């Protein structure tokens, strides 16, 4: 896969330490987005906007990330479609800002991708269990373990339950709210661990 990170031109000015650290964050976010099946540049563009105090025009984004203006333009179009960035103003070179409430987008990805993958496993298992039960009722010997099928079916249903919980969560908008959210999430995980043991 071709990397979205372009080689800096020879005459580029040296970056100060903070700028280098911010670029490292952008690159790491890009790798994370790529892991989830999106282009790395989307994570890099969103992160530089999220970390910026002020909205930023596309030319500045391209300069900071050292990528082409067309690469930034295409990324901004996709991120806008996902509701992750928005233009500030309606003029041609309007600056953009990151939408910090990313959870609706994450929920939609979970619903359209992970949920559907687990759902296809669940429905296939239900059909296999039905067929195995029909075969058994008709006295036909088969090599498949129906109890294990039911176990896998239960596992897929548990996975869907966790996905359903994740899709309904709203992320807090402040670091104080995030602390409370993490505390509640940790408590929930401990409770679920106790139920499983």
| Tokens standing for residue 123 | 């429905």
Residue 7 is assigned to a structural domain of this protein: no
| Spatial CA neighbour of 109 closest among 77, 87, 83, 86 | 83
Token reading at 21: 């650290």
Q: Is 62 in the same domain as 27?
A: yes
- Contact of 84 with 95, CB cutoff 8 Å: no
Where among 40, 74, 98 does a domain terminate?
Answer: 98
In whole angstroms, what is the distance from residue 165 CA to residue 171 CA? 13
* Whether residue 61 sits in one domain with residue 118: no
The residues with which 87 forms a beta bridge, in sequence order, are 96
Residue pLDDT tens, the chain, 197 long: 455 655 554 444 556 888 899 999 999 999 999 988 899 999 999 999 999 999 999 999 999 999 999 999 999 999 999 999 999 988 888 999 999 988 888 888 888 888 899 999 999 999 999 999 999 999 999 999 999 999 999 999 998 988 888 777 766 656 566 566 666 666 766 666 665 55
- What crossing angle do the helices spanning 40-51 and 69-81 adopt, rounded to 10°? 80
Task: Determine the structural domain holding residue 140 and report its residue range.
Answer: 103-196
Whether 10 is in a domain gets the answer: no
Number of domains, the chain: 2
């Amino acid at each position: 896969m071709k990397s979205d990170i372009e080689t800096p031109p020879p005459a580029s000015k040296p970056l100060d330490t903070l700028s280098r650290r911010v670029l490292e964050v952008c690159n790491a976010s890009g790798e994370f987005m790529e892991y989830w099946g999106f282009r790395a540049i989307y994570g890099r563009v969103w992160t530089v906007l999220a970390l910026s105090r002020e909205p930023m025009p596309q030319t500045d984004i391209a300069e900071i990330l050292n990528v082409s203006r067309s690469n930034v333009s295409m990324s901004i179009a996709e991120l806008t479609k996902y509701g992750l960035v928005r233009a500030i103003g309606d003029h041609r070179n309007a600056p953009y800002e990151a939408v910090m409430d990313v959870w609706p987008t994450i929920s939609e990805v979970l619903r359209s991708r992970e949920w559907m993958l687990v759902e296809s496993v669940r429905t296939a298992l239900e059909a296999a269990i039905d067929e195995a039960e029909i075969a058994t009722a008709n006295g036909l010997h088969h090599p498949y373990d129906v109890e294990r099928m039911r176990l896998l079916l239960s596992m897929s249903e548990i996975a869907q339950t966790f996905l359903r919980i994740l899709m309904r969560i709203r992320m807090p908008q402040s670091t104080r709210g995030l602390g409370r959210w993490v505390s509640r999430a940790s408590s929930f995980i401990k409770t679920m661990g106790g139920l499983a043991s």
